[in-house]
Structure 1
Amino acid sequence: MNYFLVKSEPFKYSWEQFNKDGQTFWDGVRNYQARNNIKAMREGDLVLFYHSNEGKEVVGVAKVIREFYQDPTTEEDRWVVVDLAPVETLKKPVSLETIKKDALLQDIALVRQGRLSVMPLKVEEFDRILALGNE
């Protein structure tokens, strides 16, 4: 299993809306590194959902329910999406400030490459953020 983090601005697509929808395709990625991370996602992989700009916090866990395919919002074939479904809401959101202060999380892309919208996580990083969110 692989682990990832995806970012969304809550005013564009929030965790609450995602839960109401029950699933979505993850579109709008126009960065090659983020696109390659989407292509690495496999059905069943777990994904942390992060509210960017407003809140700046991990709020929930989703899973990949369909592997990458052509982004239906563009005719450019280089851009892809995956389908995600919500799994659980964290008991307590995990803020970017908390993540930056945690010694186990210093090397994650969220800290090193703040603008990257889709990023892989090591199992230890994923588990640590989950533990912080379920304290």
Structure 2
Amino acid sequence: MSTRPVHYWLMKSEPDEAGIDHLARDGKLGWFGVRNYQARNFMRDQMQVGDVVLFYHSSCPEPGIAGIAEVCTGAYPDPTQFEPDSKYFDPKSSSENPRWMQVDVKFVKKTRLMGLPEMRAMPELAEMQVLQRGNRLSITPVSRAEWDAISKKL
């Protein structure tokens, strides 16, 4: 039996919709509503139970890392794609051939907010995908070196 090393991720969420406080309260959160193929593929093809996540607040007055979570399920079809009243409804998706996947994450801890200016000031994060110009992905891989640099400051 081979053991796969832990992978590290950054997952963005709007704090008003599903923030770190929601996760802390509920203990677990389905990462639904992702409608980008590359982000979907990360969940479907690479994320596994036990991977760790930088929980990032986006589309808010102070974007940044707000906590730590852990992937606690494998990928499965996002049910919102089938709900006609959902803003995430996709009429081209079917239960036989779902387009969109999600994973569940569980709460590990809330951290102080590490904002973008602080992240950009860290030379160790110069190549971090979330800091690259034009990056809009809601899920991005994080290297072990980036994870370690951030963990020391949280």
TM-score by length of 1: 0.93
The aligned counterpart of 2:120 is 100
Q: For residues 98-135 of structure 1, give each alpha carbon's deviation from its aligned partner in whole angstroms, at most 9, with x where no partner exists.
A: 111111101111111531100111111111111111xx
5 Å-filtered alignment, 1:3-18, equals: 3-18=8-23
Q: Does 1:82 align with 2:89?
A: no
Asked if 1:28 corresponds to 2:33, the answer is yes
Letter in 2 for 1:62: A
Q: Please report the RMSD computed on the Cα atoms of aligned residues, expressed in angstroms.
A: 1.1
Structure 2 counterpart of 1:111: 131
- TM, length-normalised to structure 2: 0.82
Map of 2:42 onto structure 1? 37
* Matching residue of 2:88: none
1:57 aligns with 2:64: yes
8 Å CA contact 2:72–2:106 kept in 1: the answer is yes
Give me the identity figure in percent.
36
Partner of 1:73: 80
Instruction: List alignment gaps of at least 5 residues for structure 2.
Output: 1-5, 83-92
1:27-68 C-alpha deviation (Å, 9 max, x unpaired) = 110001111111211000000100112121101100011010
Q: Which has the larger radius of gyration?
A: 2
Equivalent pairs, count? 132
**Match of 1:128, as an amino acid?**
A
Report runs of 4+ in structure 1 exceeding 2 Å deviation. Answer: none
Amino acid at match of 1:104: E
User: SS of the counterpart of 1:74?
Assistant: helix
